[in-house]
């Protein structure tokens, strides 16, 4: 049998052996710790109301400009400049569901705020088309010239790639880590110039790059002319830009930013 002295020595020895093991377990826990996921700050009812009002007005102005421009890339970029200038202090100047979706993807805005943006943008596009009809007597919307599979695929790729480039330019300009200029006037000009060049990448589909314009203008034209066939291919102008914006958000946060930090 062990004496009390031997038993005490054995217990002390076991404690010495077990102590570093406990320390190792603690280190493992610390290594697997992950910081909390960033979440956008909640918006008040007043904030959401302001976003809704100004996004509706800004998108309506841009929709009117698209109809009035008769397809001119320079005029469309100029109207985008005016729309962003009018709304940027209140809403960020999205005037495009794809842009709003990209900021939702990187947790800048919440899902509820995204719904407010989308509702206002669609309403603004329809309203802008109506005002353009009242003033100019013109009803027009983006359209797909052919349902041939190769043509449709070209339209999908053009809308997605053009939106990808446009939204990527926006992320580069609006985020502090990559901002090219702190001057608001120059920053809006940079974004308008990005739209001008991005439309050249999607000339096959007319360079819509904006689901609110694609869906809103087609809805108004289909209703006004009582011709629902105008809505047959609206999904191209809806899903392709959203996909392009999603990829742009991932590319900016996962590739562009990390490469700059090296």
87-117 pLDDT, tens digit per residue, is 999 999 999 999 999 999 999 999 999 999 9
Return all residues near 185 (Cβ < 8 A) that are at least 6 apart. none
155-176 pLDDT, tens digit per residue, is 899 999 999 999 999 999 999 9
Token reading at 136: 């100019």
pLDDT of residue 31: 46
Kindly state whether residue 122 falls inside one of the protein's structural domains: yes
Kindly state whether residue 18 falls inside one of the protein's structural domains: no
Structural domain harbouring 178 = 45-261
3 state SS for 238-255: HHHHHHHHHHHHHHHHHH
In this structure, what CATH number is given to the domain that contains residue 102? 1.20.1080.10
Kindly state whether residue 150 falls inside one of the protein's structural domains: yes
pLDDT of residue 2: 47
Question: Which residue ranges in the chain fall short of pLDDT 50?
Answer: 2, 17, 20-36
As for how many domains the chain has, the answer is 1
3 state SS for 148-210: CHHHHHHHHHHHHHHHHHHHHHHHHHHCCCCCCCCCHHHHHHHHHHHHHHHHHCCHHHCCCCC
What is the pTM assigned to this prediction? 0.82
Provide, rounded to the nearest whole percent, the portion of the chain with pLDDT above 90: 62
Token reading at 104: 């939702």
CA dist., res. 186 & res. 236, Å (int) = 32
112, with CB counted inside 10 A (0-12, 13-18, 19+), is exposed
């Amino acid at each position: 049998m062990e004496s009390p002295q031997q038993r005490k020595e054995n217990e002390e020895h076991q404690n010495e052996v077990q102590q570093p093991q406990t320390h190792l377990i603690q280190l493992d826990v610390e290594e697997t710790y992950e910081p909390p996921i960033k979440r956008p700050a909640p918006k008040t009812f007043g904030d959401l109301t302001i976003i809704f009002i100004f996004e509706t007005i800004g998108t309506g102005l841009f929709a009117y400009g698209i109809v009035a421009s008769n397809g001119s890339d320079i005029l469309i970029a100029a109207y985008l400049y005016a729309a962003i200038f009018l709304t940027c202090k209140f809403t960020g100047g999205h005037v495009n569901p794809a842009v709003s979706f990209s900021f939702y993807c990187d947790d800048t805005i919440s899902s509820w705020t995204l719904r407010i943006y989308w509702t206002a943008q669609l309403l603004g596009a329809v309203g802008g088309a109506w005002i353009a009809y009242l003033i100019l007597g013109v009803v027009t919307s983006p359209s797909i010239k052919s349902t041939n599979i190769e043509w449709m695929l070209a339209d999908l790729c053009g809308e997605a790639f053009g939106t990808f480039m446009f939204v990527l330019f926006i992320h580069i300009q609006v985020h502090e880590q990559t901002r090219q200029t702190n001057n608001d006037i120059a920053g809006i000009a940079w974004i308008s110039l990005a739209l001008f060049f991005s439309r050249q990448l999607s000339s096959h589909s007319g360079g819509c790059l904006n689901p609110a314009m694609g869906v809103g203008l087609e809805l108004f034209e289909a209703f006004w002319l009582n011709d629902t066939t105008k809505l047959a291919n609206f999904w191209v102008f809806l899903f392709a830009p959203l996909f392009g914006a999603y990829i742009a958000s991932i590319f900016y946060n996962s590739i562009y930013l990390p490469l700059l930090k090296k």
